[in-house]
Amino acid sequence: MARCFVTRPLPGGSLDRLAAEHEVDLWPQHLPPPPEALREHAARADGLLCLLTDRVDADLIAACPRLRVISNFAVGCDNVDLAAVRARVIALGYTPDVLTETTADLAVALILAIARRLPEGMAAVRAGQWQRWDPGWMLGSDVHGATLGIVGLGRIGRAVAHRARGFDMEVLHTSRRGGVPLEDLLAGADFVSLHCPLTPQTRHLIAAPQLQAMKPTAYLINTARGGVVDQAALETALREGWIAGAALDVTEPEPLPTDHPLLGAPNLIVLPHVGSATRATRARMADLAVDNLLAGLAGRPLPREYGAP
């Protein structure tokens, strides 16, 4: 029987399956364990089930001599020091696929919400500003027939493209495997939706030059990772009118402090990273995270190993 540290309670019954085979040390709070607590608990663990908000760096890994497998409850692993994991030959699992459709749904919801000014409309009703029907009030932008630029045509990007065709949108894409150059996509798209992983190459992929290359009537949608966008540049872009608006489900850092300058920018929607937040999807993610951990502790191949072909 191995010892597993799980950094948060998980939806569904997946942790019962883990506890049936191994000793489970569960962090009971819904906020992440502080770094010192993460280090203390993980140091005694053979398996670690962590979340995207848990920083698993080289120092933490070095402090965990028994660690054999890490299962990351996320579609990516940018919170994990991959070089340190490989050096120790620690198995690393993650939870792609099961959240593809749910995250794509949210990306389209953000496109509709920012284009049709839904948060502003809701706020106006509650503030008593809806006094009559005015032909010139609350005018937004059409989604049907518009051009959607998808940056990163992986699982989620393809799912968003599939949904966009239901709105008769023209779809452009750029990715490692082809498509159009990023500069052409930015110049031609009415909506730019980000779906690339966060890597050293994609950090601040969308910065001031890219935002200035977009149409002044275009919108930026980010359901990927906050670090893909230079948020200081985005704030300037919104205040100066380089683009029409932005809708973000991810930021850097997370959570975004309530006094962060970006939150004062106009024409902005910010959600608290809820791309995969449906009951069914989060339960499937928990099941896959536990499956990865159980397989690694048993010496079997992980069902979804990060970096595997």
Closest C-alpha to 149, from 205, 183, 193: 193
CA distance 249 to 271: 5
What positions carry a catalytic annotation?
A: 225, 254, 273
Residues with Cβ within 8 Å of 75's Cβ and at least 6 positions away in sequence, in order, are: 94, 95, 96, 99, 103, 156, 276
CA distance 112 to 250: 17
CA distance 187 to 165: 20
Alpha-helix residue ranges (DSSP H) falling in 127-256 = 155-165, 182-188, 208-213, 231-240
Phi-psi region of 68 (alpha: psi -120 to 50; beta: other; left: phi over 0): alpha
Roughly how many angstroms between the first and final C-alpha of the chain, as a whole number? 30
